[in-house]
Structure 1
Amino acid sequence: MSQAVVHPSAVVEPGARLGTGVRVGAFSYIGTEVEIGDGTVVGPHCSIHGPTRIGRDNRILGHAALGGDPQDKKYGGERVELAIGDRNTIREFVTINRGTGAGGGCTRIGDDNWLLAYTHVAHDCVVGNHCVFSNNATLAGHVEIGDHVILSGFVGIHQFCRIGAHAFIGMGAFVNGDVPPFVMVAQEGYGRPRGINSEGLKRRGFDADRISAIKRAYRALYVAGGSLDEARVKLADMAGESPDIRALLDFIDAGERPLLR
Structure 2
Amino acid sequence: MIHKTALVSKNANIDSSVSIGAYSVIDDNVNIDANTQIESHVVIKKNTSIGKNNHFFQFSSIGEEPQDLKFSGEESILRIGDNNKFREYCTVNRGTEAGINETVIGSDNLFMAYSHIAHDCIIADSCIFSNAASLAGHVRVGKYVSLGGFTLVHQFCDIGNYAFSGLGTVISRDVTPFTLVAGNHAQAYKINTAGLKRKGFDVKVITALEKIFKLFIKSKASRENVNQEYKKLNLKYPEVEYFVDFINSSERGVTR
Task: Evaluate the alpha carbon distance shift between residue 67 and residue 236 of structure 1 in structure 2; reply closer, same or farther with a 3 A threshold.
Answer: farther
Counterparts of 2:251 and 2:34 in 1: how far apart (Å)?
A: 39
Instruction: Determine the C-alpha separation between the residues in 2 that align with 1:251 and 1:206.
Output: 19
Say whether the 8 Å CA contact 1:239–1:245 is kept in structure 2.
Answer: no
Give the equivalent residue in structure 1 for 2:9: 13
Partner of 2:38: 42
Deviation string 1:200-251 (CA, Å, 9 cap, x unpaired) is 1111110111110111111101233224454344445556511111001111
Could you tell me whether the CA contact under 8 Å between 2:247 and 2:253 is conserved in 1?
no
The equivalent of 2:49 in structure 1 is 53
For 2:208, the equivalent position in structure 1 comes to 213
Give the superposition deviation at 1:191: 0.8
Instruction: Measure, in 1, the Cα distance between the counterparts of 2:82 and 2:234.
Output: 34
Q: Check whether the contact 1:235–1:249 (CA below 8 A) recurs between aligned residues.
A: no
Q: 1:194 to 1:36 in 2, by over 3 A?
A: same
TM-score (norm 2): 0.97
Post-superposition shift, 1:20?
3.2
Aligned residue for 1:35, secondary structure, equals strand
Distance in 1 between residues matched to 2:231 and 2:104, nearest whole Å? 32
Indicate the SS of the match to 1:212. Answer: helix
Partner of 2:154: 158
Report percent identity of matched pairs.
Answer: 39
Q: Does 1:128 align with 2:124?
A: yes
Could you tell me which runs of 5 or more consecutive residues in structure 1 were left unpaired when the two chains were aligned. none
Distance 1:165 1:119, change over 3 A: same
Please name the residue that 1:231 is paired with. Answer: 226
Give the aligned partner of residue 182 of structure 1.
178
Q: Distance in 1 between matches of 2:250 and 2:59?
A: 36
Q: Are the aligned partners of 1:238 and 1:245 in contact in 2 as well (CA < 8 Å)?
A: no
Name the amino acid aligned to 1:190.
H
Structure 2 residue runs of 5 or longer lacking an equivalent are none
Decide whether aligned partners of structure 1 residues 78 and 49 sit closer, same or farther in structure 2, where only a CA change above 3 A counts: same
Q: Which amino acid aligns with 2:198?
A: R
Q: Which stretch shifts more, 216-225 or 94-103?
A: 216-225
Aligned residue pairs: how many? 256
Q: CA RMSD in A?
A: 1.3
Separation of aligned partners in 1, 2:233 and 2:154: 31
Instruction: Map Cα deviations across residues 100-122 of structure 1 (whole Å, 9 max, x no partner).
Output: 01101000000000000000000
Determine helix, strand or coil for the equivalent of 2:252: coil
